[in-house]
A and B are shown apart, each in its own frame.
Chain A
Amino acid sequence: MPLDNAPDSKRKFNVVGTRPLRPDGIDKVTGRAKFGADASAPGQLVGRILRSPHAHAVIRKIDTSKAEKLAGVKAVITRDDFPDHTDGDAALYDTMYNIMAREKALYEGHAVAAVAATTASIARQALKLIKVDYEILPHVTDVDEAMKPNAPLLHKKMFTDGVDPKPKKPSNVARRFEFGHGDVEEGFKKADIIVERSFKTEATHQGYIEPHAALASMSPDGSADLWCCTQGHYMVRDVCARILGIDISRLRVTQSEIGGGFGGKTTVFIEPVALALSRKANRPVKVVMTRDEVFKATGPTSSTSMDIKIGVTKDGLITAADGTFRYQGGPFAGCSPAEFGAMSAFAQFHLDNVRAIGYDVVCNRPKTISYRAPGAPMANFAVESVIEELAHKLGMAPIDFRIKNAAREGTKSSYGPVYGPIGLGPTLEAAKNHPHFKAPLGPNQGRGMAAGFWFNFGGQSCVSLNIPTDGTITVSVGSPDIGGSRASMCMMVAEELGIGYEHVRAIIADTSSLGHNDVTDGSRTTFATGMACILAARDAIKKLCQRAAATWGIPEDAVTWEKGFAKPAGANAGNFAPLSLKEIAAASPGTGGPIAGHHEFSADGAGVSFATHICDVEIDPETGASKIVRYTVIQDAGKAVHPSYVEGQFQGGAVQGIGWALNEEYIYGKDGRLQNAGFLDYRIPVCSDLPMIDTQILEIPNPGHPYGVRGVGETSIVPPLAAIANAVAAATGVRFTQLPLSPPRVLKGIEDAKAKGKKAA
């Protein structure tokens, strides 16, 4: 059977595109679903972690003797319990350094020791008995400050990569990136209007509701089990096994239901600590983070500082675009998404001359980790703010300016590749024609828009599909379901087999049950693991046809599969009544045993994704308070497998972007300590802050997927920052270049502009 992956544009879908009930819904709304902290094991201990109160300090000595003597304490661990097995792998070494500090504590909240005790209160007391001798060092938390020549240095051996010749003096700049083509200096010479602005954004946290939780059980024979909430249990297995110095096959990781990840659960924090405690105590150990720990010690995204310069001709054609993107990634190299920021910044334009320079910078802040379209929202905020300003200077409608310069099929993207069929133009046209675009605005209201891009990713997936004797289907996948993938997997399998959705159940298998599966990230799962499900179903169909052929005594290639039945391929294949999936399954014990389908691969061909957002905001001119009054997301999904989930992804990204734009921020004191490590003062929007987010799904098929699917999870967080900033500019007449647009900042901007206007008058 040919495995032709190109989408068949004439294909009529039966299941794909419908909106069946989600398989995890009832368990989640009734509280039956098991999340990370719901795992338990006989004799389990409570694990707690001691964290550095200092932003930057040498750890001279750790005295654990008193804690060890406390009744009920079964294990105390420090850096000494993590001998270096990383074998020169710098990224793995940094991961190990992050989960338990070594020579230095590099940020407030950095783990320095951990205990396992019979009760939580004993564990808490034990932490107080651990004496850490710190030598406090000067710290730096701001990205611009960190890049100054006299900044406190985090690593004596950090010499900026990507600069020729390599600097001889160490700095906090881990790496420089450069992307682009053409000649920007020449391009600016051709420009009639040039706008140049600098921007800053604050660090934000992924803000998942479920704190990290892990239950570890390590046996004296070296085999171990780990239950945890993660976006990638195979990653957890591999990283933990390597940090602990055990064979990968000895560790089995089972993923729980996940209460949100958004990129933040694509690394390890407490998992190796729980395992090391269990190894030392010889008992199962459960570690559950508090919210304070989540904010201080798990990955926020970068705070940034950016410069953008764009030139246009009088008739609105961009002649050159240049940007510098400085992202701090916490204390380790290679953690900030500066590279993705620089790559994605100008990706929505057709440009002859473009340059984007990124700097990956270290600071005394928690190690950053992916946050939904990592690096792109901030860069988009800066670029799309300048685009809006240019349109006004040109006297051109911003939408027409964007359409005129939009990337299209055949455009050489700002980061290198040439685009195939893409959906940017259609999303812009749809925005222009959307009722929202023409709706009247009330007093103190303004409308803004922005277009955004995300790469999307494929990667490794391994799927196993089994057919019990009643002809129903079990699908085992290794991609944690963070956005409804179990439903879409079942739908694609049902589509291939020609049966109903209700006959298929998908589960997330543990790491010993399947081959490697990459982390659920990069909007890859519905695309890549979904494709593996389609191909596993086709593999099973091949075997079902073989059984029918053997039953009928005709050649295998004389049997076809149609709507859930094996049929003779044509009149000359013989005259046999079709055999249903159910009949073939029922007969399977006597026709060769169980029937299964498999597929394992590394998927290429993830289609890029574009979205255009429209936002209306109302500003109270006396307080600077903002209210989002209307919001519309228009995005290309390639093919929406389950449209409700796709809409949910569009809405979720928009809401996180609204929080980022308006109120969310990491606030540091002069002492380098985080001031707002809780949901009270780290202000994620609540329901009543938001309007219903309107959505429009466009389907421009991705040639790299049999149904045309593109990832949809990340693009939706890219345009909101700029769309909201542009709306606030329209409502107030003030262009803000720093996020968040919190009321004190907006009010000050309005007052300053008023004072300036008075002066000018």
Chain B
Amino acid sequence: MRYERPTTLKAAAQMLAKEKGKAFILAGGTDLLVRLRTGFIDPDLIIDIKDTSGARAIQKTATGFKIGAAVSGAELGENAALKKAWPGVVEAANLIGSKQVQGRCTMTGNLCNASPAADSVPALVAAAAKAVVVGPKGKRTVPVEEIPVGPGRTSLKKGEIIESLILPKRPPKSGDAYLRFIPRTEMDIAVVGVGVSLTLDGKGVVTKARVALGAVAPTVVLVPAAAKAIIGTKLDKAALDALAAACSAACNPIDDKRGTRDFRIKVAGVLARRAAMIARKRAGGK
């Protein structure tokens, strides 16, 4: 097994493209090292991207925020401007693992791990985040929901690496929230996760919304019907009922060790209501 630590992402992408054996990207390593130690993977090459330029930076730009691929959960939690603009995204990222894991884990890694239960992904999808992908043929920008294509599988081609995640600039009176269900209070994996992002007008009517669900289908799913159910409403009981029903209807879960199909369908609706109310409050709604 070889270990490389390039200083540019272009060099990293070239190494990845050239490698004939099994190659893996190391950023936080909180998934990779566990798999390595349990013998689940047997890499020929590990490329550490933490030294590539911009990998550890959170940049506030004219169009929003640019978050480097190796920014840790703890660093996200300590960035006041980001937390103010996207509290739901930050709270989702901060739920990953334990306090110790937070010092290392990254949102980009969480996305590329392609688990349907990834905590930060429903919040990113609800936020309409985009991924900047660097490959041997240059850069492209992709909506985050297009990155995972199935459990453990992504749409990234050989040699492609995510350089950063872009969160758009917030209109006034906007808020987002992420809630997950776990049987414990921490250090667990979502049985159901719900991300909601919305914008209100001066009267408290929802003008824009995006709703995404985790752990209820092979990938995180964006639920346009759920957004439709609340756009144009003040999140009254009827709207919340419609939101919950749309979320439950969008679920295509399995029975497994973490929860039953029926449980996931029901709880997706429950959490969607609760997350929408938190997002509304954060947007300044009453």
A, B in one complex: yes
Mark B171-204 against chain A: 1 for CB-CB distance below 8 A, else 0: 0000000000101111111010000000000000
CA A667 – CA B257 in complex, angstroms? 7
A290 interfacial by beta-carbon distance below 8 Å: yes
Determine how close the nearest CB of chain B comes to the CB of A221; give it in whole angstroms: 37
The closest CB in chain A to the CB of B192 belongs to: A623
The closest CB in chain B to the CB of A622 belongs to: B270
Asked whether A686 and B186 contact (CB < 8 A) given A625-B181, A747-B263, the answer is yes
Report A-chain residues with C-beta under 8 Å of the C-beta of B38: 290, 292
Report B-chain residues with C-beta under 8 Å of the C-beta of A686: 184-187
CA A667 – CA B267 in complex, angstroms? 22
CA A685 – CA B188 in complex, angstroms? 11
Report B-chain residues with C-beta under 8 Å of the C-beta of A663: 183-184
Determine how close the nearest CB of chain B comes to the CB of A492; give it in whole angstroms: 40
B53 interfacial by beta-carbon distance below 8 Å: no
Mark B113-127 against chain A: 1 for CB-CB distance below 8 A, else 0: 000000000000000
Report B-chain residues with C-beta under 8 Å of the C-beta of A625: 181, 183
Asked whether A743 and B263 contact (CB < 8 A) given A675-B257, A686-B184, the answer is yes
A155 interfacial by beta-carbon distance below 8 Å: no
Report A-chain residues with C-beta under 8 Å of the C-beta of B191: 743
Interface residues of B in 145-188 (CB under 8 A from A): 181, 183-188
Interface contact B189-A689, CB-CB below 8 Å: no
Mark B34-70 against chain A: 1 for CB-CB distance below 8 A, else 0: 0000110000000000000000000000000000000
Interface range on chain A (Cβ under 8 Å from partner): 20 to 34
Determine how close the nearest CB of chain A comes to the CB of B190; give it in whole angstroms: 12
Residue in A292, A662, A680, A748 whose CB lies within 8 Å of B263: A748
Interface contact B263-A683, CB-CB below 8 Å: no
Mark B239-274 against chain A: 1 for CB-CB distance below 8 A, else 0: 000000000000000001111101100110011000
Report A-chain residues with C-beta under 8 Å of the C-beta of B266: 747, 751
Interface range on chain B (Cβ under 8 Å from partner): 20 to 34
Determine how close the nearest CB of chain A comes to the CB of B181; give it in whole angstroms: 6
The closest CB in chain A to the CB of B260 belongs to: A744
Tell me how many residue pairs across A and B have CB atoms closer than 8 Å: 54
Determine how close the nearest CB of chain B comes to the CB of A525; give it in whole angstroms: 32
Interface residues of A in 658-691 (CB under 8 A from B): 662-663, 667, 675-676, 680-681, 683, 685-686, 688-689
Interface contact A680-B183, CB-CB below 8 Å: no
Determine how close the nearest CB of chain B comes to the CB of A739; give it in whole angstroms: 14
Asked whether A680 and B185 contact (CB < 8 A) given A667-B257, A744-B260, the answer is no
CA A642 – CA B270 in complex, angstroms? 48
Determine how close the nearest CB of chain A comes to the CB of B240; give it in whole angstroms: 12
Interface contact B181-A680, CB-CB below 8 Å: no
Determine how close the nearest CB of chain B comes to the CB of A522; give it in whole angstroms: 32
Determine how close the nearest CB of chain A comes to the CB of B267; give it in whole angstroms: 5
Determine how close the nearest CB of chain A comes to the CB of B208; give it in whole angstroms: 27
Interface contact B188-A743, CB-CB below 8 Å: no
Report B-chain residues with C-beta under 8 Å of the C-beta of A290: 38
CA A218 – CA B188 in complex, angstroms? 43
The closest CB in chain B to the CB of A674 belongs to: B257
CA A747 – CA B181 in complex, angstroms? 13
The closest CB in chain B to the CB of A667 belongs to: B257
CA A307 – CA B184 in complex, angstroms? 31
Interface contact B184-A683, CB-CB below 8 Å: yes
CA A17 – CA B160 in complex, angstroms? 67
Interface contact A680-B259, CB-CB below 8 Å: no
The closest CB in chain B to the CB of A292 belongs to: B38
Interface contact A742-B183, CB-CB below 8 Å: yes
CA A343 – CA B134 in complex, angstroms? 68
The closest CB in chain A to the CB of B271 belongs to: A623
Report A-chain residues with C-beta under 8 Å of the C-beta of B263: 624, 743-744, 747-748
Interface contact A680-B184, CB-CB below 8 Å: no
CA A248 – CA B50 in complex, angstroms? 56
CA A686 – CA B182 in complex, angstroms? 12
Report B-chain residues with C-beta under 8 Å of the C-beta of A124: 39
Interface contact B258-A681, CB-CB below 8 Å: yes
Report B-chain residues with C-beta under 8 Å of the C-beta of A623: 181, 267, 270-271
Determine how close the nearest CB of chain A comes to the CB of B133; give it in whole angstroms: 30
Asked whether A743 and B181 contact (CB < 8 A) given A124-B39, A681-B258, the answer is yes
- A-B pairs with beta carbons under 8 Å apart, 12 shown: A625-B183, A667-B257, A676-B257, A683-B183, A683-B184, A683-B188, A686-B186, A688-B186, A743-B183, A743-B191, A744-B260, A747-B267
Interface residues of B (CB under 8 A from A): 38-39, 181, 183-189, 191, 256-260, 262-263, 266-267, 270-271
Interface residues of A (CB under 8 A from B): 124, 290, 292, 622-625, 662-663, 667, 675-676, 680-681, 683, 685-686, 688-689, 742-744, 747-748, 751
Query: Other than the known A623-B271, A686-B186, A688-B184, what 18 A-B pairs have Cβ atoms closer than 8 Å?
Result: A124-B39, A292-B38, A622-B267, A622-B270, A623-B181, A675-B257, A676-B257, A681-B189, A681-B257, A681-B258, A683-B184, A683-B188, A689-B185, A742-B183, A744-B259, A744-B263, A747-B266, A748-B263
